[in-house]
Structure 1
């Protein structure tokens, strides 16, 4: 959505002053409005004043609305949107109840169910079987990415009975690239998906598991997203600077200091997500693995990065890495904006493809391990689901921590 326009004061009618601005209509409400961007009009108590006092008060109220929009993120459609979502949720519940009754009496019609409904049925069956919470959570994660991947590729509305291997393969390719999964993760998720579709076959949602015997297991040596030792780190940073890729350099710094989890998080960061008073960053629920909003403090060193970006005074809704050249703007940069530019630098210096921008997050974790930071603390900083994931870095990067860097190297 575009940010709202700057509120203005209309004094054409001396007896009826009002404030107005243009505001995007939420996508879910497009069907209710003649245009996708509507003019919002507010009067407040402006017309209760007279003469010069009226003009002064009107300008004050205009500034109040400017603050509401910029800082408080006021949305005039919020109440209507919440009501619409409540009705949609009730509709979905009723639809689900009806479909469940149909499934009981006419099992042969299950192949017409939506993918989302069918996968939801699978999760409910696992809960009913008293499966361990960790297992249910793992399958729920698989269900979530299948839905996301199918929707992204335009297959979200395909009935479960018509889902093919090609649909699921395209979904996996998108998610694996977006979340920068390594081979081990991809293989694990394929196994989860196979189990889910085996159940869908047994329960007559699909005639045959569409992926059985189709996916080839990937080699599992862990080399992708390698951490940067001090020599390679210096070479890469110098090369990025020499190439004039300043936005890539900022992306590397953000990934290191904030431990950004994927390029999607990097793309979605807005100026309003950075709180320089409390020195913390907001990670929205839409991007979180557990669908909850999270906040993390950032270190003092990151302040220097923010100073160089000069974000003060820009709209809070703007993306830090905007469209076109990566500068802050109302639209976010493209999905492969950074990786394409970084590849040019890597090719120029002969750097292995295993080194990625995401590897700077891994580098920060290795540095924290070298500093002696507790694994549970690192797990919290990196937003890992458990600190076992953090301990894996000791194994995956072959670190004994007997020989560690000095303070001058344990930073970006």
Structure 2
């Protein structure tokens, strides 16, 4: 019979801020030492975090120690510790998903990112609740299981390929975290291929259409007009940046707009130079409380607030779904390039990480395509 400190170290109950588990160490058999070292740690979760009670935790703790004392050997009794696809932690899909969301919150991810992951986590729980599969060990889920999950949802939700690809990527990210945490060693989603999509270029407003839209909105919704003007001058993202900027982010004395890291697309503190037109637009905010939002006052506007206001105007001028509030940024890029602005200045304004990205962005807008070659060509 195994004896503590010779073949194993007695299990202990571990409680962290985000999860509980039972942990023990077992001496590695001679033939596997090169791979694992002399001792290997095992963590047992079962459904401890779903129950999260002292009584259940104590029962699991005692059960693990009793099994070890009675001769349980994880290397002999469990195929997963011998086969190439070893699994380190015995944890259900349900528990692992809960741990992932806790990790996202603890890591301080943006609220929008946590919500996005939350959607796919809820899809996974609901889909695999059939037959209580969600409580199966994570290691039992195969590529075929995950393909059925993705493509059944695609059919059920009538997703286009672009949306389906997003969910494939979200699911891959979640299972990559499971691998990192040693819940599993192989990601069953990793080799699921992305679906083909038609890549559309950035949409911008022609001068004629832009003038009609601006004139119509100005008569009916001053706040929406100012929001559009703000996007035009700053190039900020409507939902994740412009909507969440506060009065304290306007540095009038330095003629700068500060974009804090927690909302910045680059996840770093950024600054945007403010020209006279932008300063004039924001002048009324000078006397407002510093913690007010530039748009919305004491509370920010909801995520889809401005998009909903904008939709009737898009419909009025028969503009397709590709035309969005963000298209005003692309329109500004066209105007700057036509005015002869240095691409480096455009790079700084739009906070691109490299000039190469800016040049590609401008190319996608049809800029930098010279007509000179047509002037030099012979006629047919």
So what's the TM-score if we normalise by structure 1?
Answer: 0.52
Aligned to 2:89: 108
Alpha-carbon distance in 1 for matches of 2:319, 2:232: 19
Give 3-state SS (helix, strand or coil) of 2:89's partner: helix
Give 3-state SS (helix, strand or coil) of 2:215's partner: helix
Give runs of aligned pairs for residues 353-368 of structure 1, distance below 5 A: 353-368=321-336
* 1:150 has 2:117 as partner: yes
Larger Cα-atom Rg = 2
Aligned to 1:241: 218
Alpha-carbon distance in 2 for matches of 1:202, 1:311: 47
Alpha-carbon distance in 1 for matches of 2:264, 2:171: 21
> How many residues end up aligned between the 2 structures?
270
Measured after TM superposition, the shift of residue 185 of structure 1 is: 10
* 1:315 has 2:289 as partner: yes
Provide closer, same or farther for how the CA distance between residues 315 and 394 of structure 1 changes in structure 2, counting only shifts above 3 A. closer
Measured after TM superposition, the shift of residue 318 of structure 1 is: 0.8
* 1:345 has 2:322 as partner: no
Aligned to 1:220: 198
Whether the 8 Å CA contact 2:120–2:171 is kept in 1: the answer is no
Give 3-state SS (helix, strand or coil) of 1:330's partner: coil
Give 3-state SS (helix, strand or coil) of 1:221's partner: coil
Structure 1 runs not aligned, ≥5 long? 1-90, 120-139, 174-181, 323-328, 404-412
Provide closer, same or farther for how the CA distance between residues 208 and 378 of structure 1 changes in structure 2, counting only shifts above 3 A. same
Measured after TM superposition, the shift of residue 397 of structure 1 is: 1.8
Measured after TM superposition, the shift of residue 246 of structure 1 is: 1.5
So what's the TM-score if we normalise by structure 2?
Answer: 0.56
Alpha-carbon distance in 2 for matches of 1:271, 1:280: 12
Whether the 8 Å CA contact 2:168–2:194 is kept in 1: the answer is no
Provide closer, same or farther for how the CA distance between residues 205 and 306 of structure 1 changes in structure 2, counting only shifts above 3 A. same
**Which of 261, 264, 272 is 1:296 aligned to?**
272
Provide closer, same or farther for how the CA distance between residues 165 and 149 of structure 1 changes in structure 2, counting only shifts above 3 A. farther
Alpha-carbon distance in 2 for matches of 1:277, 1:320: 17
Aligned to 1:276: 252
Alpha-carbon distance in 1 for matches of 2:302, 2:291: 17
Whether the 8 Å CA contact 2:23–2:41 is kept in 1: the answer is no
Alpha-carbon distance in 2 for matches of 1:380, 1:257: 13
Provide the alpha-carbon RMSD of the alignment. 4.8
Give runs of aligned pairs for residues 365-404 of structure 1, distance below 5 A: 365-400=333-368, 402=370
Whether the 8 Å CA contact 1:370–1:401 is kept in 2: the answer is no
Give runs of aligned pairs for residues 9-408 of structure 1, distance below 5 A: 105-106=41-42, 107-109=88-90, 112-113=95-96, 114-115=99-100, 147=114, 149-151=116-118, 161=138, 187=165, 190=168, 194=172, 197=175, 200=178, 205=183, 211=189, 217=195, 219-223=197-201, 225-242=202-219, 244-307=220-283, 310-322=284-296, 329-400=297-368, 402=370
Provide closer, same or farther for how the CA distance between residues 118 and 248 of structure 1 changes in structure 2, counting only shifts above 3 A. closer
Whether the 8 Å CA contact 1:255–1:360 is kept in 2: the answer is yes
Measured after TM superposition, the shift of residue 220 of structure 1 is: 2.8
Alpha-carbon distance in 2 for matches of 1:249, 1:265: 17
Provide closer, same or farther for how the CA distance between residues 147 and 341 of structure 1 changes in structure 2, counting only shifts above 3 A. closer
Give 3-state SS (helix, strand or coil) of 1:295's partner: strand
Measured after TM superposition, the shift of residue 256 of structure 1 is: 0.9
Measured after TM superposition, the shift of residue 192 of structure 1 is: 8.1
